[in-house]
Amino acid sequence: MAAHAGYLRRLGRRLTEDLDRLDAEEMAETADASGACRASECCRGDEVTMLGRLRSVEMAPRCAGASLEAEFFDGTDTVTLVWMGQRRIPGIEPGKRVMVRGRVGERAGEKVIYNPYYELREAL
């Protein structure tokens, strides 16, 4: 009977809570289970491996030089990923789940990783 009550409580929570918050919690749990670092716990100079999702991807204007930027979110915080010399990378699209590795830097007070190593992952 307790298992049934637990199921109903989880179902009720999923139906009534904010979807973005539930998605963020699920991503953070998945990242923890994989052994990845949390974006909220990393700081400038750290060598990290993180698992999360790309929220947005944009190219820099031609006059600014070729670079591709993506907003990475792991459920705890965002990190900007910047690929210098690239205008497009196949598979790097909003909504894609990726594992990234690199050294965390700082740009305008925000976390950034330049030219990260990445692996595309299957959706959950």
What letter does residue 115 receive in the DSSP assignment? S
φ/ψ (deg, to 5) at 118: -140, 155
- Model pLDDT for residues 66-106, shown as the tens digit of each residue: 789 999 998 888 999 999 988 889 999 998 999 999 999 99
Domain over 19-121 is classified CATH 3.30.2270.10: no
Residue with tokens 């740009």: 107
- Model pLDDT for residues 3-56, shown as the tens digit of each residue: 666 677 766 666 666 666 766 667 666 666 667 888 888 989 999 999 988 999
pLDDT score recorded for residue 66:
79
Q: Domain segments of the chain: what residues?
A: 19-121
Output the DSSP codes for 11-51.
HHHHHHS-HHHHHHHHHHHHHHHHTPPPGGG--TT-EEEEE
